[in-house]
């Protein structure tokens, strides 16, 4: 035993998070228990991560078996589980090959490197630029946070990585204007990196017409269109991929959150024509190890076996109907709701007198876990296995939480 230092604070964990005074110790399905043995309905799911809910029996068994067989080896060798998961992703998406890493930020870092190499090699650009959207979120590592169009994430960490330009999300005219301005004296832009629906930035669905226009402008110039599907990928929206909601096919996409059902994995998926990586260009020690890929493979097969896309569509509709009903009942407080499938946001009015964080705190009292998406949007991202009675319970608890604030 290490004796605690006499002057130690109550926590030895670095203070990078604002944490709720809630300590979670157990989970099952859509429910989690705190250290007082109180049960909470979990509409956060590790932020859109625990696809199959907590402690899923099939995932538990598959991972236990994997731990007994082989947990980790180096990418110096062939890894059958990695090959299998890559095969599944390729067979079920627009992509032709996959690079595995460990998080959303890392997947975007890989995408940024791919984009820059494409810019140098295919478009002959000296200092390639990547266009991203304002209010976007791409992760916290230095290049990913530089790509993030929210100044509050940059403050204190300047200088940012150069080579990112921003345009207002869903503004096709502004995009075209920026692109033309950048490309005025010859090729300058390597890629566009964009979320099909902005999660962190306020549950903002992409406009299909704008995305199709961006797709066309990129195709005309051999600029890569890269979708950050870290939050929306793997069935969250009712289709396997977010790009299917928009009728737009990207050249590459990044995944992480839902892919491992709560286990650590990220991925960059690319189409053959966009794959400029060669041996030695990129690597990860842990990326795509047998354990992580077994988690991904199990989530993938359970999505199909349990027909979870159908469940997301039905439960998403039920959730959206219920939220719209709340909006009708409290028109002075709620501005509306928006989202796709089981990624929904309840939008507060500026004038309601409380913030999304206040709603999240009030919901805690009702033993409902929610997460803000910006100052005025309450985000709901429950496990994809959620049932009709649990959606009803979510709505009842949310209603009571709102009444406490009114």
Residues making contact with ligand PLP (CB under 6 A): 103-105, 108, 137-139, 195, 199-200, 228, 230-231, 256-257
CA pair distance 29, 43, nearest whole angstrom? 11
226 within 8 A of 248, measured Cβ to Cβ: no
Residues 6+ apart with CB under 8 A from 8: none
Residues 6+ apart with CB under 8 A from 173: none
**DSSP 8-state class, residue 337:** E
Closer CB to ligand PLP, 282 or 306, in the complex: 282
Closer CB to ligand PLP, 228 or 390, in the complex: 228
Q: How far is the CB of 338 from ligand PLP (least distance, A)?
A: 16
Closer CB to ligand PLP, 289 or 393, in the complex: 289
Burial class (CB in 10 A: 0-12, 13-18, 19+), 95: buried
- When CB distances to ligand PLP are compared, the closest residue is 104
Instruction: Look at phi and psi of residue 235 and say left if phi exceeds 0, alpha if psi is from -120 to 50, else beta.
Output: left
Q: How far is the CB of 105 from ligand PLP (least distance, A)?
A: 3
Closer CB to ligand PLP, 199 or 235, in the complex: 199
Closer CB to ligand PLP, 140 or 404, in the complex: 140
Closer CB to ligand PLP, 322 or 345, in the complex: 345
Closer CB to ligand PLP, 125 or 135, in the complex: 135
CA pair distance 268, 108, nearest whole angstrom? 8
Q: How far is the CB of 345 from ligand PLP (least distance, A)?
A: 13
* CA angle, residues 237, 27, 359, in degrees to nearest 5: 60
Q: How far is the CB of 341 from ligand PLP (least distance, A)?
A: 15
- Which has the closest alpha carbon to 53: 68, 69, 63, 41? 41
The SS3 assignment for 152 reads helix
Q: How far is the CB of 104 from ligand PLP (least distance, A)?
A: 2
Instruction: Look at phi and psi of residue 203 and say left if phi exceeds 0, alpha if psi is from -120 to 50, else beta.
Output: left
**Strand-pair partners of 351:** none
Q: How far is the CB of 297 from ligand PLP (least distance, A)?
A: 19
Q: How far is the CB of 326 from ligand PLP (least distance, A)?
A: 25
* CA angle, residues 116, 223, 215, in degrees to nearest 5: 135
């Amino acid at each position: 035993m290490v004796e605690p230092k006499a002057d130690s604070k109550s926590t030895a964990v670095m203070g990078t998070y604002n944490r709720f005074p809630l300590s979670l110790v157990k989970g099952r399905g859509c429910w989690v228990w705190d250290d007082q043995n109180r049960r909470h309905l979990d509409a956060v799911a590790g932020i859109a991560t625990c696809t199959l809910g907590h402690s899923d029996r099939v995932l538990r068994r598959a991972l236990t078996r994997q731990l007994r067989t082989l947990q980790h080896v180096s990418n110096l060798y062939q890894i059958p589980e990695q090959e299998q998961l890559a095969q599944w992703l390729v067979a079920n998406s627009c992509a032709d090959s996959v690079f595995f890493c460990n998080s959303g930020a890392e997947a975007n870092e890989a995408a940024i490197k791919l984009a820059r190499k494409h810019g140098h090699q295919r478009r002959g650009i000296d200092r390639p630029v990547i266009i991203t959207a304002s209010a976007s979120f791409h992760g916290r590592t230095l290049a990913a946070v530089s790509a993030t169009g929210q100044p509050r994430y940059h403050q204190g960490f300047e200088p940012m990585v150069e080579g990112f330009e921003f345009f207002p999300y869903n503004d096709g005219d502004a995009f075209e204007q920026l692109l033309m301005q950048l490309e005025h004296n010859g090729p300058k832009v390597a890629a566009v990196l964009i979320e099909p629906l902005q999660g962190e930035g306020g549950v903002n669905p992409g406009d299909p017409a704008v995305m199709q226009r961006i797709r066309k402008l990129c195709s005309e110039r051999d600029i890569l269109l890269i979708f950050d599907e870290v939050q929306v990928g793997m069935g969250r929206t009712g289709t396997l991929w977010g790009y299917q909601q928009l009728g737009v096919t990207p050249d590459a996409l990044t995944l992480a959150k839902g892919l491992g059902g709560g286990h650590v994995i990220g991925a960059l998926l690319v189409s053959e024509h966009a794959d400029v990586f060669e041996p030695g260009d990129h690597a990860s020690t842990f990326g795509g190890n047998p354990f992580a890929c077994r988690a991904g493979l199990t989530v993938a097969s359970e999505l199909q076996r349990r027909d979870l896309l159908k469940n997301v569509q039905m439960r998403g509709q039920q959730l959206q109907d219920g939220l719209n009903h709340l909006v009708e009942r409290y028109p002075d407080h709620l501005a509306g709701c928006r989202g796709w499938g089981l990624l929904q946001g309840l939008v507060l009015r500026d004038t309601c007198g409380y913030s999304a964080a206040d709603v999240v705190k009030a919901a805690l009292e009702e033993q409902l876990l929610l997460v803000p998406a910006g100052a005025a949007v309450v985000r709901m991202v429950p496990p994809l296995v959620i049932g009709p009675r649990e959606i009803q319970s979510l709505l009842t608890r949310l209603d009571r939480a709102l009444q406490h604030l009114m």
